[in-house]
Amino acid sequence: MPLKVTKINDNITLIQTPEQSFVSNSYLVSLNGKERVYLLVDPTPQEYFKDLIFTLNDLIGGVENLDLIYVNHQDPDVTSSLAPIMDMNKNALLIASEDTWRLIRFYGIPRERFQAIEFFPNRKVVLKTDDTLEFIHTPFCHFRGAWMLFIPEKKALFSGDLLGGLSSREVNGVYATEDSWEGIKLFHEIYMPSKEALKLAIDKIGRLTPLPELILPQHGDIIRKNLMVDFLAKLNDLEVGLDYIKRYESQQQFYLYAFNEILQNLKNNYSDKEKLMQKLKEINSSPFFPELIHFENGVATEFRIQPESAIELLYDKFSEDAPREERESLRIDIIKTLRKYNLDIPEGILYERQRGSENPFRRIFKIFQR
Ligand SMILES: [Fe+2]
Ligand SMILES: [Fe+2]
């Protein structure tokens, strides 16, 4: 499937991989002044290299016309196309942090083609188009040497994995809606290491002058001004990575006991064993997060998401096509079991009647279960 190309404005074109739930975004930035500069931000993964070359042929007359390539950090979804791009283009300069370079140099890119962010005074450089490239360090979001790229003249912030997310919108657009939040939340819970690192990065966005009007992340939906403050405020309060691992550490074992007890009751009462096994399999069927709950011999032994989310996921899976009475019986069993272990009951289960069919959490897992 070819890459999806969307013109965002006169200067920025989004080049997006065709996956449905977890897309990789690359951006072609075209700057014009006395001279013209073509900058490629976070190149498309190597899996789509050929498509990327064709796309660049269409957009700028060929990969050889690129002047600059920027990468936020070293992950393969961002850097795996670098070496062949730089083989086909003998002039473009690669810009990244020293931390990133230490790893991507193993692609065999010559050092003289690389320019470290740290080398630029005040981490800024003015191009011959009179546009400024401003680099903003976001330590441990999610890599120690991750840096965002801001072009103040265009009020555009290329944020890398930060503010990236799963695409939870059902429409075929590229801009975030309020519904995009659930995908951003889940992505940050898994990928970002701690609230402290996240807060630091968010604070840096808040202090940019001028404030960006477009946040262009490496995954998911582009965030416009109207949702920016809302999403940043929500992220500021989000528990991610180590925070919830630590918070649940002492309770993890009890959540596992409770989960397995609920599961055992389900097994005892479920007549269609095949369907039961199928449903358990579906819980772990996301192509991008293949094991949300780790099972050994039919027993859950580890949660890779918040334990409360794991229990909600189990409930959602087994109640989606169950008759009302069966659903209610499972809900009561979950509440009773969690109460027995003195654990918090997820609100979505406690207040079932208030949950709409449009529950975004449920919708995200539906995207997974293709
Ligand atoms: Fe990454
Ligand atoms: Fe990424």
Q: How far is the CA of 42 from the centre of ligand 2 (A)?
A: 9
pLDDT of 168: 62
Domain limits of the chain? Answer: 4-236, 242-368
Q: How far is the CA of 51 from the centre of ligand 2 (A)?
A: 19
Q: How far is the CA of 184 from the centre of ligand 2 (A)?
A: 12
The CA-to-CA distance between both ends of the chain, in Å, stands at: 17
Q: How far is the CA of 187 from the centre of ligand 2 (A)?
A: 10
Q: How far is the CA of 222 from the centre of ligand 2 (A)?
A: 14
**Nearest ligand, CA 74:** 1
Exposure string for 150-171, b = 16+ CB within 10 A, e = fewer: bbbbbebbbbbbbbbbbbbbee
Residues within 5 Å of ion ligand 2, judged at the Cβ atom: 77, 161, 218
Q: How far is the CA of 161 from the centre of ligand 1 (A)?
A: 6
**Nearest ligand, CA 191:** 1
Tens-digit pLDDT string for the chain (370 aa): 699 999 999 999 999 999 877 899 999 999 998 899 999 999 999 999 999 999 999 999 999 999 999 999 999 999 999 999 999 999 999 999 999 999 999 999 999 999 999 999 999 999 999 999 999 999 999 999 999 999 999 999 999 999 999 876 655 789 999 989 988 988 998 899 999 999 999 999 999 999 999 999 999 999 999 999 999 999 998 989 898 888 878 888 999 999 999 999 999 988 888 999 898 888 887 656 668 899 998 899 998 878 888 898 899 889 888 899 999 999 999 999 999 999 989 888 888 654 444 454 555 554 443 3
| 4-236 CATH pick, 3.60.15.10, 3.40.50.620, 3.40.50.150, 3.30.565.10 | 3.60.15.10
User: Do residues 260 and 301 touch, judged by C-beta distance below 8 A?
Assistant: no
Interatomic CA distance for residues 360 and 35, integer angstroms: 46
Question: Whole-model pTM?
Answer: 0.81
